[in-house]
Amino acid sequence: MGLRLGDDAPNFTAETTEGTINFHEWLGGGWGILFSHPKDYTPVCTTELGYMARIKGEFDKRGVKILAISVDPLDSHRGWTKDINETQNCTVSYPIIADPEKKVADLYDMIHPNSLDSMTVRSVFVIGPDKKIKLMLTYPASCGRNFDELLRVVDSLQLTAKYKVATPVNWKDGQDCIITPAVNDAEAKTLFPKGFKAIKPYLRLTPQPNK
């Protein structure tokens, strides 16, 4: 059985473009994103790793570390990084794991049985400070990932980890949140001093509590 939400994120030690890392030690007490790409020198992933490099500062603000991976060796990663920087007007400043023996790829079920067994599928894992998997996404090779969506998800995950709220459809940081059903109205008045609007007994909106 593959990994599921809420499972412990498997630990590993791997060689990266920034040296050897132990994943859990590298994460420390913060959040992390581990994302895979099928192969170096591929067009869609060139745009993805470049965009991630350009918005890395936004993840830094949120205390989120970025880690990429493919089954290619380090020398290939380093050569491809030069192309990414050149074509995407960026500087890749996060580590990329070299996983030629597919040890990490197998741990995270990144080798899809319907794909080439030498290529990792394009997966994303968001890992919480408790080292548990908070989000998993897998994209087809033809569709570039939306890293702005990952920022939005991180905002939601970090907010809902601290407050008894959920975030509604298409929510963005600063917008109203939903009070979780486990909180009754009396508790809600104490927990959410800005007040709330009850559209239905099960659907209560309150201003984002940390704004």
**How does pLDDT run across 3-58, given as a tens digit for each residue?**
999 999 999 999 999 999 999 999 999 999 999 998 899 999 999 999 999 999 99
Token output for 148? 């702005």
- How many Å apart are CA 193 and CA 195, to the nearest integer? 5
User: Bridge-partner residues for 200, per DSSP?
Assistant: 203
pLDDT band at residue 2, thresholds of 50, 70 and 90? confident
pLDDT at 117 > cutoff 60: no
Give catalytic residue positions. Answer: 45
Token output for 32? 């992390």
Give residue 111's pLDDT: 73
Domains of the chain with CATH codes: 13-146 (3.40.30.10), 163-206 (3.30.1020.10)
Predicted TM-score (pTM) of this structure: 0.92
Handedness of CA 41, 83, 127, 154 (dihedral sign): negative
Among 3, 10, 192, 201, residue whose Cα is nearest residue 99: 10
pLDDT at 85 > cutoff 60: yes
67's enclosing H/E stretch is: strand 64-70
